[in-house]
């Protein structure tokens, strides 16, 4: 049995738009994902977050389910449009009350709440004013963050400013496959910069708030980039991929500068960056959240796409998302972060897998592949701890099957199956297995 350190925070992660449903209830306003999913052609099957897992109404039962699973912690996100329907100014007390009750129920169940301030559901009213591409967003986000610190900061001690700024900037503003569906590199690079500025200003607001004695961090999706061959061109291509996918956020946050290779590569599209900006962005944080799913194998592809690279397919098993199952990449990433950007406390704020789960004749889900995936990734994380990495918690994505963005409900990541027509929750084999891991605080070798 490979035991984890005493007090290791085992949990699950979710996000507001993906599980709550009731997007316009009790004074909430439309988010950019409400608009995006209701725009035909954007989401597979025309799925939307209108109902999702109906968590907005079933939250009490879901907290009871978390307690049954033995979770030590639970990472959720707050829907900005519920608490500030116009994005700024007027507070919607019914929206705040939902999270107030949720936090109280979690504490009552002995579960540590981790609150993500932004997991992609920007108020549509702010998109109408330019959204993340408008530098005024820094003030809007700081006002929202300050309100949440004020209202929940006496009970929530762990705060994540942003979930995956790379996805917000690239998928939302360059590739256009996520809300708000823009395809504009110039805008996307400014969105990345504004996200980091907003993060930095929220950190300062946190330090000044009643919540200030807690911990604040940011969550980044990070993936090791491996060169397809040892050729100079493939190695240079991999360096560009690593700079864009990983260092674009890691370097300013922890080194106070953007990767030079990107500034060169993007030329006049690169935004104006001042030293004052960089000082805001690099304000010290208390932990780094890491969302790890897989790695990429990269080859040089002159003139192709944004970076002149292409991703090479590898042999080996893949999840239902087509992502290579590569647990050693988690070990490699954690050790790199510790050595190059640390040493600071780390949390795996997301790791998990989608597989084609089906209810069997007895109405259960025997998701052996997910058990194997998690087991191997837990062991990789445990190895990193042996090498001195200050890993303090692990949140499995996700507690429930839920709305998988542009893929709608076609992908199931949950350790609990959701039968959407009935909204019944059915704990999968992986959920029962995870409960034992948490109880033992360890996994078999
Ligand atoms: O795709 C599974 C999860 C999402 O459901 C979470 O909301 C999001 O935080 C998240 N990030 C990643 C890795 C980056 C990524 C996001 C979306 C699509 C493809 C890759 C995987 N996931």
Write the DSSP string, 45-101: GG--SSSTT-HHHHHHHHHHHHHHHT-SEEEEE--HHHH-TTSSSS--HHHHHHHHH
pLDDT of residue 259: 98
Atom of ligand 1 nearest to the CA of 219: 9
d(CA 171, CA 182): 9
Stretches in the chain below the pLDDT threshold 50 = none
Q: Given this model, what pLDDT does residue 245 score?
A: 98
Annotation marks residue 108 as catalytic = no
Q: Ligand 1 atom 7: the closest Cα is on which residue?
A: 15
The pLDDT score that the predictor gives to residue 212 is 77
The tally of CA atoms less than 13 A away on the side-chain side of residue 64 is: 5
- Give per-residue pLDDT as tens, 348-381: 999 999 999 999 999 999 999 999 999 999 999 9
Cα of 214 vs centre of ligand 1, distance in Å, is: 27
Q: Which ranges constitute the DSSP H helices of 270-367?
A: 275-281, 328-340
Task: Report CA(253)–ligand 1 centroid distance (Å).
Answer: 21
pLDDT for the residue numbered 361 = 97
Choose the catalytic residue: 20, 201, 350, 369. Answer: 350
219 CB under 6 A from ligand 1?
no
**Catalytic: which of 20, 164, 201, 404?**
164
| Active site (annotated) includes residue 164 | yes
pLDDT digits (tens, 9 = 90+) for 68-89: 999 999 999 999 999 999 999 9
- Please tell me the predicted confidence (pLDDT) of residue 213: 87
Whether ipTM > 0.90 holds is yes
pTM of the model as a whole? 0.98
Ligand 1 atom having least distance to the Cα of 405: 5
Beta-carbon contacts of residue 283 (< 8 Å; ≥ 6 apart):
200, 203, 204
């Amino acid at each position: 049995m490979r035991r984890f350190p005493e007090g290791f925070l085992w949990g699950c992660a979710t996000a507001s738009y993906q599980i709550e449903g009731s997007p316009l209830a009790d004074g909430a306003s439309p988010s950019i994902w409400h608009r995006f999913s209701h725009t035909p052609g954007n989401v597979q099957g025309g799925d939307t977050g209108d109902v999702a897992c109906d968590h907005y109404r079933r939250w009490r039962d879901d907290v009871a389910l978390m307690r049954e699973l033995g979770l030590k912690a639970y990472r959720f996100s707050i829907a900005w449009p519920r608490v500030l329907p116009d994005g700024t100014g007027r507070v919607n007390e019914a929206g705040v009350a939902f999270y107030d009750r949720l936090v109280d129920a979690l504490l009552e169940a002995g579960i540590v709440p981790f609150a993500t301030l932004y997991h992609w559901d920007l108020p549509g009213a702010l998109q109408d004013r330019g959204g993340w591409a408008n530098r005024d967003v820094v003030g809007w986000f700081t006002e929202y963050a300050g309100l949440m610190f004020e209202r929940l900061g006496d009970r929530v001690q762990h705060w994540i400013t942003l979930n995956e700024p790379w996805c917000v900037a690239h998928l939302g503003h360059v590739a256009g496959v996520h809300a708000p569906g823009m395809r504009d590199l110039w805008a996307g690079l400014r969105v990345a910069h504004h996200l980091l500025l907003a993060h930095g200003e929220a950190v300062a607001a946190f330090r000044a708030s009643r919540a200030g004695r807690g911990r604040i961090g940011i969550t980044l999706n990070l993936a090791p980039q491996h060169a397809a061959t040892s050729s100079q061109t493939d190695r240079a291509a991999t360096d560009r991929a690593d700079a864009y996918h990983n260092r674009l956020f890691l370097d300013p946050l922890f080194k106070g500068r953007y990767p030079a290779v990107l500034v060169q590569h993007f030329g006049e599209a690169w935004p104006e960056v001042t030293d004052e900006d960089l000082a805001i962005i690099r304000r010290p944080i208390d932990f780094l959240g890491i969302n790890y799913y897989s790695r990429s194998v990269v080859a040089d592809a002159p003139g192709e796409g944004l970076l002149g690279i292409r991703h090479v397919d590898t042999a080996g098993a893949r999840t239902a998302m087509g992502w290579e199952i590569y647990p050693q990449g988690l070990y490699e990433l954690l050790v790199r972060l510790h050595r190059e950007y640390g040493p600071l406390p780390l949390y795996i704020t997301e790791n998990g897998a989608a597989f084609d789960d089906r209810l069997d004749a007895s109405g259960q889900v025997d998701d052996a592949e997910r058990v194997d995936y998690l087991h191997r990734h837990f062991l990789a994380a445990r190895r990193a701890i042996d090498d001195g990495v200050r890993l303090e918690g692990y949140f499995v994505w996700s507690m429930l099957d839920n709305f998988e963005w542009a893929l709608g409900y076609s992908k199931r990541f949950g350790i609990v199956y959701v039968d959407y027509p009935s909204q019944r929750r059915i704990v999968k084999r992986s959920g029962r297995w995870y409960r034992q891991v948490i109880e033992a605080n360890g996994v078999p070798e």
